[in-house]
Structure 1
């Protein structure tokens, strides 16, 4: 009997354990399918439709699900939402972010329901938003790769609690805070890669204490300050910090380093003698810095060295004629320095085995462009004279620093008082009775509108404090709005030029309201508008409400903006009457600025600002030809005035097709931006043939320079490279697609414009180099 009972119990245990395992497996499959839904059903996951247990679904380079027992331990999904332009490989693949309905917080909350995950690779899926702290719930995670998405803000500090993490890869996102100072808490971290972001500030000293690191890749950011001593990282093999703003001397490096990429920074001083100990070095790039002295001969003699780039520094002296180059050395670039004397024999001739670039020095060779010896001697003397004068500069800097400190204390006290006052006013406002907005934005929503702090910091800069003006102030500024101060009709309302009592020039917009607002409701709207501060937005610096004394209604409101002196963008696209017609690089710079502003308007505040009246005449240029968007965000204050004017050409065309303006809100600015791109390419006045050209899909594949010359503004053709121009032609055609789903996101627009500018800058540099070599 006892034997029977034992057998019976064992059968029951086995039965229930099997049921529990099956239920757990089903639960994990449900979580994976929920992730698929949140990622908006990417094609790679269609294979999951016919599978009940995803642990046994087939794998591919784009999709992998690995399980141990009934638990998912590895999830790899590689999408096609975004592949960023690559200036080295020269390609640009189009993609999009996930829709505005996507919630990054919900997505990672769902992901954390797979607690056994050790590997998470989610690349090019269009994931956008700040990376949530709850990522740290995946305590067993060893590999985290979220490359080529649209994540922004700071890297969550709670990642520091993920003690098992070995690889952290966040390349190709929009992270724009400082480099975290807690990586030394990750005791197993071997590979740290944060390339192609917008990280800023110094590189923390704590990075030098992560003794497990084998690779540090932080190139293409805005990291500044000193490069810390990394000599204690005995396992480090790869250091990639190129394209940043590092401005220190070269510190000691770990002896096991194999790849050192520090080009395009502001590094100073001489290459330290300790570098001769880096016997494993294979790839060295110190180009485009401010390094001095004579390059150590060991750089060319390391047994495994294959690539040495020292171009565009301030290297002096001469290399020994008897220099012996490593047999592995395949590329050397010492061009654009102040080197003199003979070129060593092992560098004197190019062959299939070794490429050597040495133009732009004072070497005694005839085969390439060189300066006269006096050129290098003069520059060396100039360098030493600057050193002698540095003592007096130090004294001046100390005095300036002392004065600056006093001013800083004064402004801190002042702004603290103003901040307290603003808090009191905001509390008074929120106690008032809410009323509804005709635009669908309630007073409660306006009062509690959230600015995405990370997105705000994409464009922070010093601007005047927002203030309230009296009607008398504005009458004095405009001489009672006399005709001489009248600028003209804007998209909405009349514009006047004025001068405040402190001498500041301003532009004043007068809005006559078509409906009655309470003063409280109107102040909430203006307050929200006043917080939109960005280098490429015309700054709103004040307002004046002209209404009834009893707070019952408002008839007029005046918005006071900074005055932008250089006219509109479209005025600089025509040769008629303009001294300064913008060339291609200047037009690209303006277009990039506009795209940054629009991206900020869409993502810098919740709810975002869409339908921003984007037209070339609403883009203004300041004294430095920096583009600034005007007429943005006014729809929250007034929507009925000049309804036909406010509707862009893009809205009219698409509205006929779709008959629903609501469907266009997210895409309308992109279409309007396409019209600005078109004007920048065609110039003004436009030809009818040019306008219809961009509505044709053939524009995407324009490769013929003859076709471009027939359509594009001659000023653009004469100052642009074929590749850069073709990128923007293709971009314009996509933006002007009548199908909203075919248009790129504003982030895609910005990336491709920046890529076109990089391509153009490279072409201009090559052209100058060729011209110099022929001189």
Structure 2
């Protein structure tokens, strides 16, 4: 009896702790309800009105998410719907869509500070206004803070400097109008600093270069002036975005690890340093609309990873060598509106290149005469005659523009003032002809609006265009069988080569005859709006019809032309168990982060709601540098979704659940396959879920985890990945994390992996300047 009593007592205690550990403290719940009141009961928080509902388990949508641990809230994410630029006050836009005059920023932050365990705080587009108070530092456990698209003004509070756990600080789209603080270097764990679209002024403090952990620095579209400091000491920096400011210095040395550098629309002068030609990781460089002069270094064009190079609207001069080498990845170049002379280098004729407004010997109707470029050095000492000619040119240009506007107004009247239905009403009618689940007329109509933030991340992606069937036949040798790359449930995929030598992948898509041609083109135009660095780029499309404006269902009559990815799919690389050649754990993390960013964009980007994106390792394609892009995304908008219930036919690479609730679930299995490897991955769901528990022990990991992963991963990094995979494949969809959570955890796993077990803090003393 004694043993039985002890057993019962231990069982009761265990039940108390296991159940109680997942119950939110009443005081924490009260704080959440008070925050709801402060925010004036937004629709995103209506679910909290149910007193019997556990808020930690009732969230998980893209607009609201609460994560709890040990009876306390650790993550709070709320995405509102209030625009951030309406009306004007003192030269600035003012908040007609803000909270009421009863809102108190000071009281709101004081209430937030009672969530003492909070690690992640994201309050976006909620109409919050006022000066951000210093007491925000009371949230001392914060690692991630995002207050973007609100109406904060004044200074960024200096007490943030004491929040030593901060890794990500995002304050985009507000009205902060003081100088850029010089105390960011005291944040020893800071990796992402984003202050885009504010009114920050003054110089960029040189102390920025002492943030040794920084991976992304984004301060675009502010009013920052003066010198761009030497940032070469930031060895971890991958993204630098300072476009749309008033920087007026020469280009300094830049970090060797940069992947994206955006410095357009400034007043940067002098010559382009030759050292930029040594940035071997650089993929995207935009120096347009500055005052750069001299001969551009030819090594910029041949960088091994460069894909987008924009040097337009500067004062560059000289002649580029005809036999100049271009990097294999280079797909877009813009050297227009400079003072370049001579011929166009041969390698640029094989790329998408813009070169008008120079004095080149090609495309003469869009070039200036040679005298225009020869006078580049004396331009600033114009004679009166030149001034008169310039004035005449300006007047002529104004007259021409006015004529164009008048013609445009006339055409608009012809289009919109006639008795024909408006485009909007026509769009509603056409979408109803063949509606696709999750695709509304409003979604299609709004597809034309692309935010500036998204544009800045996709400037290297070519525009989508219409191809003729003759072009595609020539590219594929009349769709010869030898050109077939593969065949799936949605048709064959061919490899082709366009006339300019660019390799492409052409998907031959079978479509339902419920679409009209016009409606199908609207849908394809919407699909073309999905531009992201980690989505396989849609270069264009071709539609065959029966000549009556309808789809002929007896033939494959739509072709989607994508960029060609030369390094195959992720699954084939995971099959390589060679400890030397196989994908190391850090490389797998980079790929997983790439794809998580792409899917998060599909869910919450400029056109929200693209779900069920065929997430599996065979649809993750790699370039020659093993960077990942997602393919087969968004096809449900233009094709019958045969896989809407998760039935993948005879696809041998498919092993997802029969009911595919969301992309999180599919991504969870991609993550798991990256950990276990395809050869050791059980096919049966029940067996797999049982094995998840074994991954928490060292013996289980040695038995199940891919040897390449075991030998190249740190225990903590691998534990974070296993934990988030377990959450993703939860049988309860409401308990699965958001993609923001997944992305944050993967980035954390990558950071842990890169730093190992060390916990060094960066010294922000002047001695390290």
> Residue 371 of structure 2 aligns with which residue?
none
With over 3 angstroms needed to count, the CA separation of the structure-2 counterparts of 1:30 and 1:616, relative to structure 1, is: closer
Secondary structure at the aligned position of 2:508 is classed as strand
The CA deviation string for residues 519-559 of structure 1, in whole angstroms up to 9 with x for no partner, is 22111111111111111111000000111323233542110
How much has 1:754 moved relative to structure 2? 1.1
Secondary structure at the aligned position of 1:674 is classed as helix
Secondary structure at the aligned position of 1:449 is classed as helix
- Select 1:407's aligned residue among 307, 328, 336: 336
2:495 matches 1:509? no
With over 3 angstroms needed to count, the CA separation of the structure-2 counterparts of 1:197 and 1:642, relative to structure 1, is: closer
In the alignment, is the contact (CA less than 8 A) between 2:38 and 2:108 conserved in 1? Answer: no
How far apart, CA to CA, are the structure 2 residues paired with 1:458 and 1:695?
41
In the alignment, is the contact (CA less than 8 A) between 1:594 and 1:629 conserved in 2? Answer: yes
With over 3 angstroms needed to count, the CA separation of the structure-2 counterparts of 1:586 and 1:38, relative to structure 1, is: closer
> Residue 627 of structure 1 aligns with which residue?
628
Secondary structure at the aligned position of 1:508 is classed as strand
With over 3 angstroms needed to count, the CA separation of the structure-2 counterparts of 1:688 and 1:218, relative to structure 1, is: closer
With over 3 angstroms needed to count, the CA separation of the structure-2 counterparts of 1:405 and 1:105, relative to structure 1, is: closer
With over 3 angstroms needed to count, the CA separation of the structure-2 counterparts of 1:224 and 1:612, relative to structure 1, is: closer
> Residue 492 of structure 1 aligns with which residue?
490
With over 3 angstroms needed to count, the CA separation of the structure-2 counterparts of 1:209 and 1:551, relative to structure 1, is: closer
In the alignment, is the contact (CA less than 8 A) between 1:588 and 1:753 conserved in 2? Answer: yes
How far apart, CA to CA, are the structure 2 residues paired with 1:516 and 1:481?
26
> Residue 602 of structure 2 aligns with which residue?
601
Tell me how many residue pairs correspond in the alignment. Answer: 525
Secondary structure at the aligned position of 2:657 is classed as helix
How far apart, CA to CA, are the structure 2 residues paired with 1:219 and 1:202?
23
With over 3 angstroms needed to count, the CA separation of the structure-2 counterparts of 1:605 and 1:218, relative to structure 1, is: farther
> Residue 541 of structure 2 aligns with which residue?
543
How much has 1:572 moved relative to structure 2? 0.4
Secondary structure at the aligned position of 2:544 is classed as strand
The CA deviation string for residues 712-764 of structure 1, in whole angstroms up to 9 with x for no partner, is 11111111122211211122111111111221111111111111111111239
Superposed, which structure 2 residues align to 1:578-727 within 5 Å? 580-641=581-642, 645-646=647-648, 653=657, 655=659, 664=661, 668-688=662-682, 695-696=689-690, 699=693, 702-704=696-698, 706-727=699-720
How much has 1:690 moved relative to structure 2? 9.8
In the alignment, is the contact (CA less than 8 A) between 2:682 and 2:688 conserved in 1? Answer: no
In the alignment, is the contact (CA less than 8 A) between 2:695 and 2:704 conserved in 1? Answer: no
With over 3 angstroms needed to count, the CA separation of the structure-2 counterparts of 1:473 and 1:650, relative to structure 1, is: closer
How far apart, CA to CA, are the structure 2 residues paired with 1:610 and 1:550?
33
How much has 1:515 moved relative to structure 2? 3.1
In the alignment, is the contact (CA less than 8 A) between 2:714 and 2:756 conserved in 1? Answer: yes
How much has 1:582 moved relative to structure 2? 1.0
How much has 1:568 moved relative to structure 2? 0.7
> Residue 75 of structure 1 aligns with which residue?
none
How much has 1:130 moved relative to structure 2? 4.2
With over 3 angstroms needed to count, the CA separation of the structure-2 counterparts of 1:205 and 1:602, relative to structure 1, is: closer
2:741 matches 1:748? yes
2:478 matches 1:477? no
In the alignment, is the contact (CA less than 8 A) between 1:690 and 1:711 conserved in 2? Answer: no
> Residue 81 of structure 1 aligns with which residue?
67
How far apart, CA to CA, are the structure 1 residues paired with 2:132 and 2:643?
59
In the alignment, is the contact (CA less than 8 A) between 1:650 and 1:672 conserved in 2? Answer: no
With over 3 angstroms needed to count, the CA separation of the structure-2 counterparts of 1:139 and 1:95, relative to structure 1, is: closer
The CA deviation string for residues 87-126 of structure 1, in whole angstroms up to 9 with x for no partner, is xxxxx9975745x8x6466999684352455343247598
How far apart, CA to CA, are the structure 2 residues paired with 1:209 and 1:566?
41
Secondary structure at the aligned position of 1:547 is classed as coil
- Select 2:463's aligned residue among 465, 488, 491: 465
How much has 1:439 moved relative to structure 2? 1.1
How far apart, CA to CA, are the structure 2 residues paired with 1:621 and 1:139?
45
With over 3 angstroms needed to count, the CA separation of the structure-2 counterparts of 1:517 and 1:723, relative to structure 1, is: same
How much has 1:621 moved relative to structure 2? 0.7
With over 3 angstroms needed to count, the CA separation of the structure-2 counterparts of 1:634 and 1:152, relative to structure 1, is: farther
> Residue 439 of structure 1 aligns with which residue?
436
With over 3 angstroms needed to count, the CA separation of the structure-2 counterparts of 1:460 and 1:146, relative to structure 1, is: farther
> Residue 120 of structure 1 aligns with which residue?
108
In the alignment, is the contact (CA less than 8 A) between 1:699 and 1:730 conserved in 2? Answer: no
How much has 1:46 moved relative to structure 2? 7.0
Secondary structure at the aligned position of 1:507 is classed as strand
The CA deviation string for residues 269-322 of structure 1, in whole angstroms up to 9 with x for no partner, is xxxxxxxxxxxxxxxxxxx999xxxxxxxxxxxxxxxxxxxxxxxxxxxxxxxx
Question: TM-score of the superposition, structure 2-length normalised?
Answer: 0.56
Secondary structure at the aligned position of 1:575 is classed as coil
In the alignment, is the contact (CA less than 8 A) between 1:505 and 1:562 conserved in 2? Answer: yes
> Residue 5 of structure 1 aligns with which residue?
none
With over 3 angstroms needed to count, the CA separation of the structure-2 counterparts of 1:468 and 1:753, relative to structure 1, is: same
Secondary structure at the aligned position of 1:118 is classed as helix
- Select 2:751's aligned residue among 738, 745, 758: 758
The CA deviation string for residues 36-87 of structure 1, in whole angstroms up to 9 with x for no partner, is 87545669x97999xxxxxxxxxxxxxxxxxxxxxxxxxxxxx96389xxxx
With over 3 angstroms needed to count, the CA separation of the structure-2 counterparts of 1:701 and 1:708, relative to structure 1, is: closer
With over 3 angstroms needed to count, the CA separation of the structure-2 counterparts of 1:521 and 1:590, relative to structure 1, is: same
How much has 1:224 moved relative to structure 2? 7.6
Q: Identify which range, 104-113 or 726-735, moves more after superposition.
A: 104-113
The CA deviation string for residues 593-631 of structure 1, in whole angstroms up to 9 with x for no partner, is 111111111111333211100001011111110111100
How much has 1:500 moved relative to structure 2? 0.5
- After superposition, the CA RMSD in angstroms is 5.7
How much has 1:672 moved relative to structure 2? 0.2
With over 3 angstroms needed to count, the CA separation of the structure-2 counterparts of 1:729 and 1:680, relative to structure 1, is: same
How far apart, CA to CA, are the structure 2 residues paired with 1:503 and 1:630?
22
With over 3 angstroms needed to count, the CA separation of the structure-2 counterparts of 1:631 and 1:620, relative to structure 1, is: same
With over 3 angstroms needed to count, the CA separation of the structure-2 counterparts of 1:463 and 1:205, relative to structure 1, is: closer
In the alignment, is the contact (CA less than 8 A) between 1:450 and 1:606 conserved in 2? Answer: no
Secondary structure at the aligned position of 2:531 is classed as coil
In the alignment, is the contact (CA less than 8 A) between 1:82 and 1:96 conserved in 2? Answer: no
With over 3 angstroms needed to count, the CA separation of the structure-2 counterparts of 1:691 and 1:762, relative to structure 1, is: farther
> Residue 88 of structure 1 aligns with which residue?
none
Q: Which of 1 and 2 has greater Rg?
A: 1
Secondary structure at the aligned position of 2:675 is classed as helix
How far apart, CA to CA, are the structure 1 residues paired with 2:628 and 2:155?
47
In the alignment, is the contact (CA less than 8 A) between 1:493 and 1:512 conserved in 2? Answer: yes
> Residue 571 of structure 1 aligns with which residue?
572
In the alignment, is the contact (CA less than 8 A) between 2:75 and 2:121 conserved in 1? Answer: no
How far apart, CA to CA, are the structure 2 residues paired with 1:477 and 1:498?
5
How much has 1:583 moved relative to structure 2? 1.6
How much has 1:443 moved relative to structure 2? 4.0
- Select 1:735's aligned residue among 723, 728, 739: 728
In the alignment, is the contact (CA less than 8 A) between 2:132 and 2:156 conserved in 1? Answer: yes
Secondary structure at the aligned position of 1:543 is classed as strand
In the alignment, is the contact (CA less than 8 A) between 2:81 and 2:125 conserved in 1? Answer: no
How far apart, CA to CA, are the structure 2 residues paired with 1:523 and 1:728?
41
In the alignment, is the contact (CA less than 8 A) between 1:453 and 1:604 conserved in 2? Answer: no
With over 3 angstroms needed to count, the CA separation of the structure-2 counterparts of 1:110 and 1:693, relative to structure 1, is: farther
Unaligned runs of 5+ in 2: 1-33, 55-64, 85-94, 239-253, 257-274, 279-292, 301-314, 318-332, 339-353, 358-365, 367-400, 417-421, 760-769
How far apart, CA to CA, are the structure 1 residues paired with 2:486 and 2:36?
61
2:177 matches 1:182? yes
Superposed, which structure 2 residues align to 1:50-129 within 5 Å? 81=67, 95=75, 97-98=77-78, 103=81, 111-121=99-109, 122=112, 124=118
With over 3 angstroms needed to count, the CA separation of the structure-2 counterparts of 1:194 and 1:494, relative to structure 1, is: same
